[in-house]
Amino acid sequence: MDNAEFELVCVQGRPGSGKGTVCKRIAEEFGYVHLSAGELLRQERAKADSLYGELIDKHYSGNSLVLPIIMCILLETAVEKSNSNKFLFDSFPINMNNLETWNERKLSKKMKPRFVLFLDCPQEVCENRILGRGAGGSGRDDDVAEKLGKRFTRYEEETVQVKQHFNGQGLLRQVDASQSAEKVYEEVRRYFQTG
C-alpha cells in the first residue's frame, strides 16, 4: 500500500453524539473502513498477547487517555491490515497531542483528511443516549453515570481544540446530531456526496 492514495474523513463529536451509528452507515453506503479509536483500544485490551493491554487497562481504570503513540500504532496497524484506501477515523484525533503525534508519523503524510465531520449534540441528549446504551447492555465499562462527567469534561477541555483547529483549516463540516437518526444521516451523506 506504499503508493496508495488514501481518503480519510475524521468524525468528531461529544460522547453519545452518534458517531458510531453514522460511521456504520457511511461505511456501508460509501465503502469506507470504519476505525473507531475506542473500539481499537477495547480490542487491544482484550487480547491475551497484547503489548499494550496492561497499559491501556491502567488508563481505562483511571479514566484517562491512552498515550497518543499507542493510539497511532493501533490505527496504522488497522489501516495496513484493511487492504483499503478509504477510512473513517471515529473519535481520532481526540486532542491536539493525538493530532501532533499522528502528524509526526509516516502514514499521516498520505492520509490528510478530506474533511472533518462534526456531530453537534447537546450534552443532555448525549448523556441520555449513553445511559440508555449502558442500560441496554452495551458491554462498555465507560457507559455508566460515574464516568460521564470526566468524559464530557475531557471533551470540552481537549476535543474542542481539535474542532477549532480543523475549522481554521476550512475542513469542518457540522451537523445537528440531536435530530432523529434518519435526519442526521440525510445531512451527513450530502457531505460524502459533495465533500
pLDDT tens for 166-185 read 999 999 999 999 999 999 99
DSSP code at position 48: T
Instruction: In whole angstroms, give the CA distance from residue 28 to residue 15.
Output: 22
Helix (H, G, I), strand (E, B) or coil at 121: coil
Contacts of residue 9, Cβ cutoff 8 Å, sequence gap at least 6: 26, 32, 87, 88, 89, 113, 114, 115, 116, 117, 192
Q: Which domains does the chain have, with CATH numbers?
A: 7-194 (3.40.50.300)
pLDDT digits (tens, 9 = 90+) for 58-83: 887 777 788 999 999 999 999 999 98
Does the pTM of the predicted model rise above 0.95?
Answer: no
